[in-house]
């Protein structure tokens, strides 16, 4: 899912930086700093989940857990994912510093959308709806991230359109797997620690 250095067009890179900066700014303003440890734990979860990856052209396929990050962190997903991506770029050369903005937005924005769309259902009284919402959060978190990455590649040059299509197809199993993972975690947290599902706002 990380886009490598030297691939994207300059306007795409600049737009990514602006969008990620805006998201991080809002996320930091809204974040309850008493819950900083929770943000750190989710950043670490994201960091570890996406370490094992399979290269596909200028990108890669791996778990990202954006849906789970979004449900637990809300707007704080932006700074959490930014820090994790920065460390991955510096320590393991995953992605890159110039593509940091695009990579951050591609993963944090879907996480935020999952929080805004599915959080009420996940925290509602209806267990069945919560399970469905949990699966959709995991599935859509990956799907939206892949769409943004594919769009960024396609806009940067016609030579990347085939790769963008390949990335979309290759991530279909990941969407289902993450949907199941997030569903399992949502069911567990609703019983054991429901306050973790309300976001860090």
Segment-wise mean pLDDT, segments of 10 residues, the chain, 201 residues = 75 92 93 86 87 62 85 93 91 81 94 94 91 95 90 79 78 88 93 82 58
pLDDT of residue 97: 83
pLDDT of residue 55: 62
| Phi, psi of 98, deg, nearest 5 | -70, -30
Q: Taking each helix axis as running N to C, give the angle between helix 66-73 and helix 36-49, from 0 to 180 degrees, rounded to the nearest 10.
A: 180
Q: N- to C-terminal Cα distance for the chain?
A: 27
pLDDT of residue 60: 59
pTM recorded for the entire structure: 0.87
pLDDT of residue 58: 54
Vertex 18: Cα angle to 17 and 19 (nearest 5):
95
Which domains are present in the chain? 10-198 (1.10.1760.20)
């Amino acid at each position: 899912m990380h886009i490598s250095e030297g691939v994207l067009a300059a306007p795409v890179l600049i737009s990514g930086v602006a969008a990620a900066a805006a998201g991080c700014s809002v996320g930091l303003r809204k974040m309850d700093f008493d819950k900083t440890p929770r943000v750190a734990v989710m950043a670490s979860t994201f960091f570890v989940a996406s370490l094992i990856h399979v290269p596909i052209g200028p990108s890669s396929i791996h778990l990202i857990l954006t849906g789970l990050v979004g449900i637990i962190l809300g707007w704080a997903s932006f700074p959490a994912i930014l820090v994790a991506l920065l460390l991955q770029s510096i320590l393991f050369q995953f992605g890159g510093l110039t593509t940091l903005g695009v990579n951050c937005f591609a993963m944090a924005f879907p996480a935020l959308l999952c929080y805004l769309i599915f959080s009420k259902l996940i925290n509602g009284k209806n267990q069945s709806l919560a399970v469905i919402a949990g699966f959709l959060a995991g599935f859509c978190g990956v799907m939206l991230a892949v769409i943004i990455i594919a769009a960024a590649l396609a806009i940067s040059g016609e030579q990347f359109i085939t790769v963008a299509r390949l990335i979309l197809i290759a991530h279909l199993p990941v969407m289902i797997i993450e949907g199941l993972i997030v569903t399992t975690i949502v069911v567990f947290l609703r019983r054991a620690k429901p306050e973790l599902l309300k976001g860090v706002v």
